[in-house]
Amino acid sequence: MKRKKQLVTLIMAFVLVLTSAPAVNLFAKQYNINGSNTKWEIDGALSDAVATIEVGDTIKDSTINEGLGYSLDIHYYQDNDALDADFMLEDAPGRFVGLTAADEHIVLEPEDVNVTVPTGKKFLNWNIKYVYASGGGASTYVQLIPNFADVYTVIYDANGGEGTPPIDNNQYLQGDEAALLDGSMLSRPNYRFLGWSIDPSATESQSDCIIGTSDITLYAVWEEIPFVAPTLTTPAVINIGSTNASLSSLITPGSEAIEMQGFEWKKTGGTYTQVAKDGTTITTPLTGLAPNTNYTVRAFAKANNILYYSDEKAFTTAQAPSPGNSGGSSGSSSGGGSSTAITYSITVLETKGGTITPAGTIKLSKDADKTFTIKPDAGYKLSKLLVDDSEVKIENENTYTFKGINTNHTLKVIFEKQYKALAKGTASFRIGENKYQSNNQEVIMDAVSYIQAPGYTMLPVRYVLEAFGIGEADIVYANGTVTLFTDGKIIQLTVGSEYMLVNGEKTKMGAKAVNKEGRIYVPIGEIARTLGVKTNWDSTTKIAHFINE
């Protein structure tokens, strides 16, 4: 007992060695037998400050003299209650011993000892609150108490846009930088998406998101697309006859897609008749006009349910020809007073993607019938049949017949390339990797996806299309422009431009197409929506998912 009492009065010293950075030398300077708090010497200075230790660090006592009966006893605490684990180093049950260099404790994860993380908090490390000796002087106790920090979230708001904004499942500490997520899945009529801002009324997007002391809401930033009306040139009137004329006009779309366009014509003072035409340069023949009559014509275009008109153009048809010399007749013959038979012509206009038989200009007698055979080339199909530049109903895809011809005609067939439809399925691209999953099969790429500020997912357009069955035969590269043919759409993307052309209509993508190491990258969310493919961004795994149902 006398030796034990002497031991109790000793000034016990021990060193806690932290093996991982940042290193802090902790040395218990003194303690007393009733367990009062110890003064710490931290890096050589006496202090009451609380030291911290990280998960995975090592605690050991390198100064206790073996054989004296001392031990190091480590306890985990939360809210003044001991947690489930109580660690004591000992060489046999019930008897504490002095530690050697081999005796050590690896600091545990909070879940290993059932730490309850408060709502809105995140575990950081352990606080070493104090060290004291047991009443008998046989053990030295170290208490570890969890250290928490407030955590914050980032919420994305469509801010008047349509679609589901991205979801950020991360928890952030003050001072963290949150990566801005892709918002290209959102849309808003007559607006383009610019990026994100903490200000819902911002006109410019921010390039970063630094976490402060509260949750952050990022609002979509929208730029209104200025309205531009379509332009229509005054129709040119040519080939004016006694009963016919030809019209042409140039129509240029504005900021809104043109829903319908064409010509309107009337006798001066009468009511307009409308004929619809497609294309930028539109033409049409007018037939069945009255001779020596004044007519008025104009071009029209309908956009955003509003009709726009060109200036009017007036013209007068010619006098009716004398009997026996009308409609292309060769006139009266001399001699016995009989007249030459009346003939008319059908001119087959040149086309691409197929053939019309017979071709060229065919002469026919009045009231004759004539059948033409139509044959698309491989990979093409019949799209439109135009008689005198006016579309007619297609009743038989292989033939068209003129019946009872009594005027000259033109015949044109428009063939349309048959584009492969997108296959059903899924594709997933992880940012920064040169591979992707297509219907649960791994595919290796020779390119790597990345994020373009302020949050556009940039992918090689070739691989996204290939994932849904569109191969090289339907992708054309020429002079920095890639043209995609699929699902009845022609999409053109040009390196250095933030616009794409969809069937000739200009659409802003938000980020420019770029050529990176021989591959053309585009903000793939815009392309996917154009093709009807659903997109989903997982901010936790950094994976862009594409689903074609």
Which residues have a Cβ under 8 Å from the Cβ of 24 and sit 6 or more positions away? 18, 42, 43, 51, 52
Question: Is there a contact between 296 and 314 (Cβ–Cβ < 8 Å)?
Answer: yes
The whole-number pLDDT of residue 300 equals: 95
At 196 the pLDDT is 95
Q: Are 267 and 295 in contact (CB under 8 A)?
A: yes
Task: Find, among 17, 45, 22, the residue nearest to 142 by Cα.
Answer: 17
CA distance 244 to 291: 9
d(CA 270, CA 312): 14
In the structure encoding, which two tokens stand for residue 474, read together?
A: 């339907």
Q: Say what the pLDDT of residue 209 is.
A: 92
* 453 contacts 183 by C-beta, under 8 angstroms: no
Compute the C-alpha angle 422/427/431, nearest 5°.
135
With residue 283 as reference, give the H or E element that holds it.
strand 281-286
363 closest CA partner among 348, 346, 350: 346
Query: How confident is the model at residue 139, as a pLDDT?
Result: 53
Instruction: Please state, as a whole number, how many other Cβ atoms lie within 10 Å of the Cβ of residue 477.
Output: 11
Do the Cβ atoms of 42 and 29 come closer than 8 Å? no
Decide: 411 and 378 in contact? Cβ < 8 Å: no
- Sheet containing 45-47: order of strands: 15-16, 26-28, 40-42, 45-47
pLDDT of amino acid 103: 57
- In order, the DSSP letters of 315-384 are EEPPPPPPTTS-TT---BPSSS--BPPPEEEEEEPP-SSEEEES-SEEEEETT--EEEEEEEPTTEEEEE
How large is the greatest C-alpha to C-alpha distance in the chain, in angstroms? Answer: 162
Cα distances (angstroms) measured from residue 320 to each of 82, 240, 292, 315, 426 = 113, 12, 7, 16, 68
Task: Kindly give the pairing relationship between strand 258-267 and strand 281-286.
Answer: unpaired
The one-letter amino acid at 355 = T
Topology (CATH) of 425-548: Copper Amine Oxidase; Chain A, domain 1 (3.30.457)
Cis omega before residue 460 (within 30°)?
A: no
- Per-residue pLDDT 10s for the chain (549 aa) are 333 222 222 222 333 333 333 333 333 333 322 333 444 443 444 444 446 778 887 665 444 333 334 455 667 877 766 665 545 444 434 333 344 444 566 778 888 888 888 888 889 888 876 555 444 444 556 677 888 999 999 999 999 999 899 999 999 999 999 999 999 888 888 788 999 999 999 999 998 899 999 999 999 999 887 778 889 999 998 888 889 999 999 998 887 888 899 999 999 888 999 999 988 889 999 999 999 899 999 999 998 788 999 999 999 988 877 655 544 433 333 344 444 578 888 888 878 888 888 988 888 888 889 999 998 887 788 888 888 888 887 777 788 888 888 888 888 888 877 777 778 888 888 888 888 888 888 888 888 888 887 778 888 888 878 888 777 767 777 777 888 877 777 888 888 888 888 877 888 887 888 888 778 888 888 788 888 888 888 888 888 888 888
Burial class (CB in 10 A: 0-12, 13-18, 19+), 111: exposed
CA triple 282-288-292, angle to 5 deg: 100
Can you spell out the DSSP letters for 391-415?
E---S-SSEEEE-S--S-EEEEEEE
Residue 403 burial (CB count, 10 A): 9
Whether 409 and 388 have beta carbons less than 8 Å apart is answered as yes
Residue 154: the pLDDT is: 96
Residue 135 near residue 33 (C-beta atoms within 8 A):
yes
Residues paired with 286 in a beta bridge: 245
Phi-psi region of 529 (alpha: psi -120 to 50; beta: other; left: phi over 0): alpha
* Paired strand residues for 273: 265
The span from the CA of 358 to the CA of 469, in Å, is 38
Query: Can you give the length of the chain in residues?
Result: 549
Name the residue ranges covered by the structural domains of the chain: 2-150, 231-316, 343-417, 425-548
Spatial distance between the Cα atoms of 228 and 212, rounded to a whole number of angstroms: 43
Say what the pLDDT of residue 142 is. Answer: 66
Query: Hey, what CATH class is 231-316 in?
Result: mainly beta
pLDDT of residue 129: 64
CA-based nearest residue to 240, from 314, 336, 329, 154: 314
- Tell me the C-alpha distance between 296 and 344, whole Å: 28
